[in-house]
Chains A and B, each alone.
Chain A
Amino acid sequence: EADIYQTPRYLVIGTGKKITLECSQTMGHDKMYWYQQDPGMELHLIHYSYGVNSTEKGDLSSESTVSRIRTEHFPLTLESARPSHTSQYLCASSDSYEQYFGPGTRLTVT
C-alpha cells in the first residue's frame, strides 16, 4: 500500500547530539516537505524538495539540513541538537495540490 513513513516516532536525546529524522514515501511523489508543529501553533514549513537533488529552505528558519538523493527518501538532520529543537516534525509528499502527511516524529532534546 502506498504510504509515507517516518522514523523514529518518538526520540529523546541530549543536547549536542547529531540526529537524523527519516522520511520515506512509496507513492512516487516528486515533491516532499518538512513541517515543524508546536502545540497551538500553525504548521511551519522548514524545508521542501521538488525532486532529486533539489532542496530549499522554507519560511521558518531552521538549523536543520535535508538531502534528496532518492525520490522516495527525504531525511532531515540536526548536527547539534538543542532544547529549542524540541517539537513535532511532520513530513509530507505531493504530486499535485494536496499533500499527504506521515505520522510525525516527536523530538525532545534534554
Chain B
Amino acid sequence: AQSVTQPDIHITVSEGASLELRCNYSYGATPYLFWYVQSPGQGLQLLLKYFSGDTLVQGIKGFEAEFKRSQSSFNLRKPSVHWSDAAEYFCAVGAAQAGTALIFGKGTTLSVSS
C-alpha cells in the first residue's frame, strides 16, 4: 500500500539550532517527493520537491531535503531554525505522472523555543 510516515508528531527546537524532520514512504513506482509547510489558519505552501537527479534538493526559506532510495526516506533539514519556522510540515509522495493526487503524511508540528 502507498503511504507516507512522519514518525515525529511534535518537535521542539531552540532558535538557532539545526532541524531534521523525518519522512519515510512506501510507494510502488518511482516516487516524486514533496515537503509542504502550513502556518496556522493557512493553506499548504510548497517548500521543495524531488523528481530526479541530485538527491540533495534545496528549497525556499533555507530548507533542504535528501532523498535516500535505500532507506525510502526524504528527510527535511535546516541548519539554523528561526522563530518564524514554527508551523506544521507535511511530507507527500506522488506518481511520476503529472496530475496524479498526492499522498500525505500526518504532519509534524514544529515549535521553536527562544
Contact = CB atoms under 8 A, between A and B. Distances in A.
Contact of B46 (A40, A41, A59, A100): A100
Interface stretch (B37-45, B66-74, B75-83): B37-45
Nearest to A45: B101
Nearest to B48: A98
The contact size tier of chain B is 20 to 34
Contact of A41 (B4, B36, B99, B106): B106
Interface in A84-110: 90, 92, 94-104, 106
A1 interface: no
Interface string A41-55: 111010010100000
Interface in A50-66: 50, 58-59
Which DSSP category, helix, strand, loop or mixed, fits chain A's interface?
A: loop
Interface string A18-46: 00000000000011010000001111010
B104 A42 contact: yes
A24 to B, nearest CB: 14
B6 to A, nearest CB: 9
B42 A97 contact: no
A100 B101 CA distance: 12
Contacts of A6: 43
Given A40-B106, A42-B106, A101 B43 contact: yes
Contact of B99 (A9, A43, A50, A59): A50
Contacts of B102: 43, 45, 99
A42 B6 CA distance: 10
16 contacts: A4-B43, A9-B41, A30-B99, A31-B99, A40-B107, A41-B106, A42-B107, A43-B102, A48-B101, A58-B101, A94-B99, A96-B98, A97-B98, A99-B46, A101-B36, A103-B41
Interface of B: 4, 9, 32, 34, 36, 41-46, 49, 51, 90, 94, 98-99, 101-107
